[in-house]
Amino acid sequence: MSIDCVILAGGTNSELGKLEGISNKALIKLGDKEMVRYVLEAFRRVGEIDRIALVGPVEQFEFLKKDYFLELVPEESSILENLVAAIRFLDTRKPLLIATADIPLITAGGTEDFLQKCYPYDLDFYYPIVKKEVCERSFPGVKRTFVKLQEGTFTGGNIFLVNSAMIEPSLPLLKQFIDSRKKPLKMVSLLGAGFLLSGLAGKLSIPELEKRFSSMFNLRARAIISAYPEIGFDVDKPGDLEIMRRLIVAAGEGM
């Protein structure tokens, strides 16, 4: 079964953009390529992905269409409105992969692994989580926020798989998850004060979180444990950018 994909690349005047003298963070150069190209190149190698919609300032991304088969959607004034614009543009009934444009280490293999663990896509919401030791082994020095569960200590990813029929009713929730994706405890707090306290004590289990999430938001949700830490590494701060450039250069030298 094929899916469609939305890459969120809206927004101007971010801290990193200002630092680099570029209006949109997704266009910051890493090596000889813009950050968004790494994401596009990974996703176009994923056999399950059919259409890709990139949401952002269309005039700034138009040049990408000569190298990639993608559809550009004009950005609106918020993440929530950008999601609505992309969903209505695609007008799809397929499962929808939602990603941000600032995850240049994302790989086709990591994405395919996530999708395979979601198959047959019969639930409404899938979210990847990565163990702390996996992140720290692969990316020492990268600062991430972790939450301790009964099954281990995890951070969240930067992609989601959503039942397209449930997207518009769930848009406020999706916005909260995108806004909180770097803060797992903030995500847990969305489920109520009791869950936050249990989370701080490390007493929660993944099935408990899935059940609470599903009942609270009237959808069927599952957390997917991923062994691919690049899913959880986004470029948000100057320190992230410095580490990312070092990793990109090292990867190029190793080819």
CATH of the domain at 92: 3.90.550.10
Packing angle between helix 79-90 and helix 171-179, nearest 10 degrees?
130
* pLDDT in the model for residue 231: 93
Confidence of residue 232 (pLDDT cuts 50, 70, 90): confident
The Cβ of residue 234 has, within 10 Å, a number of other Cβ atoms equal to 23
For residues 233-243, give the mean pLDDT: 87
Average pLDDT over residues 38-47: 96
Number of domains in the chain: 1
pTM for the structure as a whole: 0.88
User: Which pLDDT belongs to residue 178?
Assistant: 66
Can you tell me the mean pLDDT for 179-208? 61
* Residue 247 lies in domain: 3-253
Tell me the CA distances in angstroms from 147 to 76, 136, 139, 200, 235, one per residue in order.
33, 14, 18, 8, 20
